[in-house]
Amino acid sequence: MDDLIRKAEEFDPSEAKASSRLKSRILTKLVELEQAEGPLRNLSESRDAGEQLCVFEQALAMLPSGELQSKNPCAVCHARILGEKVENAPVFWPGCAYARYCGH
């Protein structure tokens, strides 16, 4: 019977995957923690490092480096709110992490 109990660990149901809502909430929390530590990395630097930006982030990245570029447009974006509240929310912004978590 001990072996049977051990075998249960091998079972891999589909619900064991993280929900898109959870991923969204974790990201929001981590970015809040980052902001509490200091200004976020300039978006132009993120872009130059190969990261994809959404349309709002691209607009901010065009501004001179500094305070504006370290703003977090996700804080006021409907994509974040939908991502946190609705599983696989209909968010289709290219370059948006919340949209990617929703499978789009």
Q: For binding to other proteins (CB under 8 A), which residues are involved? A: 1-13, 15-19, 22-23, 25-27, 29-31, 33-35, 37-41, 45-46, 49, 51-53, 72, 74, 97, 100-101
Instruction: Give the residue with the Cβ less far from other proteins, 31 or 81.
Output: 31
Q: Which of 75, 38, 42 is nearest to 61 (CA)?
A: 42
Instruction: Give the residue with the Cβ less far from other proteins, 15 or 64.
Output: 15
Question: Are the CB atoms for 92 and 78 separated by under 8 Å?
Answer: no
d(CA 98, CA 64): 26
Provide the minimum distance between the beta carbon of 22 and other proteins in the complex, in angstroms, as a whole number.
5
Helices 20-37 and 78-85 meet at what angle, rounded to 10? 130
Provide the minimum distance between the beta carbon of 92 and other proteins in the complex, in angstroms, as a whole number.
17
